[in-house]
Amino acid sequence: MSSREIFIKKLKRGDLFDAVVVGGGITGSGILRRLAMSGLNVVLLEQKDFAWGTSSRSGKLVHGGLRYIKQGQLLLTYHAVREREKLLKDYRKLISPLKFAIPLEDNSRAKRMAYRFGLSVYDLFAMKKTADYTPISELISDFKFINDSIFGAYTFFDAVTDDVKLTLQILFEALKYGCLALNYSKVVEINKIHSYYEVVFKDEISGERLSISSRSIVFATGAWIGEFNSSLSIRKLKGSHLVLPFEKMPIRYACAVFHPEDKRPLYIIPWNGFVLFGTTDIDYKENLNSEVKISKEETEYLLEALDYWFPKAKIVNDSVVSTFSGVRGVLNTHKKDPSKETRDYILKVKENMIFIAGGKLTTFDYISRKVSKKIFGLLNKNPVDVGFGKFDDYLKKVTGVVSMFDKLFWSSIEDKRFSEILKNSFVVHLDDLLIRRSRLGLTSPDGGVECLEKKKGLVMSSLGWNVEKYNKELRRYKDVLRYYRLDG
Ligand SMILES: Cc1cc2nc3c(=O)[nH]c(=O)nc-3n(C[C@H](O)[C@H](O)[C@H](O)COP(=O)(O)OP(=O)(O)OC[C@H]3O[C@@H](n4cnc5c(N)ncnc54)[C@H](O)[C@@H]3O)c2cc1C
């Protein structure tokens, strides 16, 4: 039996839960982990795959957000920097320090003073000094193709992760404390019955409608929050990234540049042996439940900036290995420029239901702590201080889920272990396996299909598929992959 089947069986026992968490992104997983660590009886339901939403499509930065200082959002930056520092300490294997350069086109005293001030505040929040200056003579060797008409760059440190890997790690840590989590389980109805709620969900695999009872509900559904609470004014913003081959864009560390037209900040970062470049930030009006794809205009916008800052790299459509796009829900204050809308989180309470929107990958545990405190209040229980937790290597060995991201995994793993990990890791479709349990979908030109075909027999036997089912899933995967490619 797979972990998913075991969990469905357990849910059918009819327990009364302390809390149901709706949404299996980083926010929902973080909240599940906190509540489970505190000894509550909790379950998480995700309509698609874990991290399928924004939490697999972010810019991968664990950061304070230097630009928020310029916007005057000091508290948001402060909390995010503090969370970054905590994560860097306790989750070293998932989150790494990342040096950034901000190239200077304008060498005026005023500009230099502004950067020095911003970076000093940033470093002050972190209680460490990282800010420095690098002249163009040195910068050229760190960024081979950079526009050499610049003067030099200010440098500082932030951090980088793999958003899916982090989400799965946090989710699996929660499971260690005895809670339950189900992917492909869409919450379709909430009914209040006396002092508890009936949460009705559809098992998207069997088509069965199931219900569970809970004393409280947390809606951590990100951009989908409006479906559960229409009083929240949410603006849906789409952001897209390009994945480039490292050889085409050899960079020693990350670089923050401004788009030549609208002066929005963009990031170019080394990631997983590749280079990520993004993001765009535009209003999104389409269906949230289908895959999101970069538009022609977004691609042109990003390529224009690359051509301006790295003209010698000559990046064109054909250079791009893959792309990914995500939608975030932010508090709508009707700003003309979407990038000026706050990235802070929103928390609303109605009876025993908590609704969360906005926030950042970086601040997932900050939000989780706030929610956990509220839940204990709603349940009339005394909060339990459970500390922060640490990256658990033991967990990696037992479930193996996080190991699937390692480059050597597919070539070096023993068959028996591969099969165990597949059964443990809630893989339902091939995009779960190739886009969110590994990153082959983004980093291989063929999306990892060749790698998969070598393990076809093993995948089929582990997931209980016959040839017909495998072929159907492969067709589905190739269809999904089109959303991650420019030419799809
Ligand atoms: C382009 C872009 C770049 C970003 N870059 C960064 C960055 O570099 N650093 C950073 O800190 N933050 C970044 N962010 C923000 C960060 O990605 C988000 O704040 C974070 O991922 C939100 O996580 P979440 O769990 O709240 O939402 P999601 O990850 O979207 O999770 C919500 C989940 O709820 C599920 N759901 C919806 N309806 C239902 C239902 N009826 N039943 C069950 N489940 C349901 C969805 O399927 C979804 O998986 C970025 C965001 C974007 C869009």
Give all strands (DSSP E) within 194-273, no chain letters: 196-203, 209-214, 217-219, 234-245, 254-258, 265-271
Q: Tell me, yes or no, whether 292 and 357 share the same domain.
A: no
Look up tokens 């509550």; give the residue: 40
Phi and psi (nearest 5°) for 183?
-90, 170
Residue 387 inside a domain? The answer is no
Q: Ligand 1 centre from 359 Cα, in Å?
A: 9
Residue 133 inside a domain? The answer is yes
- Which positions ≥6 away from 278 have C-beta within 8 Å? 59, 239, 240, 241, 242, 266, 267, 302
Domain containing residue 200: CATH number: 3.50.50.60
Write down the pLDDT at residue 488. Answer: 65
Residue 29 near ligand 1, beta carbon < 6 Å: no
Residue 186 near ligand 1, beta carbon < 6 Å: yes
Look up tokens 């929005």; give the residue: 264
Angle at the Cα of 294 from the Cα atoms of 290 and 300, rounded to 5 degrees? 165
What residues of the chain score a pLDDT lower than 50?
A: none
Q: Ligand 1 centre from 69 Cα, in Å?
A: 23
Contact between residue 265 and residue 67 where contact means Cβ atoms under 8 Å apart: yes
Contact between residue 459 and residue 465 where contact means Cβ atoms under 8 Å apart: yes
CA distances (Å), 428 to each of 99, 395, 464, in order?
37, 21, 11
Nearest alpha carbon, ligand 1 atom 37: 221
Token duo for residue 356? 């969360």
- Cross-sheet strand order for the sheet of 42-45: 180-182, 42-45, 19-22, 217-219, 353-358, 345-350
Residue 34 inside a domain? The answer is yes
Q: Tell me, yes or no, whether 356 and 406 share the same domain.
A: no
Residue 56 near ligand 1, beta carbon < 6 Å: no
Q: Tell me, yes or no, whether 128 and 256 share the same domain.
A: yes
Residue 82 inside a domain? The answer is no
Q: Please give the DSSP secondary-structure letter assigned to residue 143.
A: B
Q: Please give the DSSP secondary-structure letter assigned to residue 404.
A: G
Residue 52 near ligand 1, beta carbon < 6 Å: yes
Q: Ligand 1 centre from 53 Cα, in Å?
A: 5
Token duo for residue 318? 């054909």
Q: Tell me, yes or no, whether 274 and 409 share the same domain.
A: no
Token duo for residue 185? 């389980």
Q: Tell me, yes or no, whether 313 and 277 share the same domain.
A: yes
Nearest alpha carbon, ligand 1 atom 3: 58
Q: Ligand 1 centre from 436 Cα, in Å?
A: 14
Residue 386 inside a domain? The answer is no
Ligand 1 pocket: which of 22, 55, 298 to mutate (most atoms within 8 A of CB): 55
Write down the pLDDT at residue 394. Answer: 67
Q: Tell me, yes or no, whether 269 and 156 share the same domain.
A: yes
Helix 74-90 / helix 364-378 crossing angle, nearest 10 deg: 100
How far apart are the C-alpha atoms of 105 and 149, rounded to whole Å?
8
Residue 76 inside a domain? The answer is no
Q: Tell me, yes or no, whether 155 and 253 share the same domain.
A: yes
Rg (CA), the chain: 22
Q: Tell me, yes or no, whether 321 and 244 share the same domain.
A: yes
The helix/strand/coil state of 19 is strand
**Residue ranges making up the domain that contains 463:** 400-484
Q: Tell me, yes or no, whether 252 and 335 share the same domain.
A: yes
Ligand 1 pocket: which of 361, 366, 370 to mutate (most atoms within 8 A of CB): 361
Q: Ligand 1 centre from 60 Cα, in Å?
A: 12
Residue 394 inside a domain? The answer is no
Residue 388 inside a domain? The answer is no
Structural domain count of the chain: 3
Q: Tell me, yes or no, whether 141 and 243 share the same domain.
A: yes
Q: Tell me, yes or no, whether 185 and 333 share the same domain.
A: no
Ligand 1 atom closest to 80 (CA): 11
Domain containing residue 252: CATH number: 3.30.9.10
Q: Which of 340, 357, 391 is the last residue of a domain?
A: 340
Q: Tell me, yes or no, whether 479 and 431 share the same domain.
A: yes
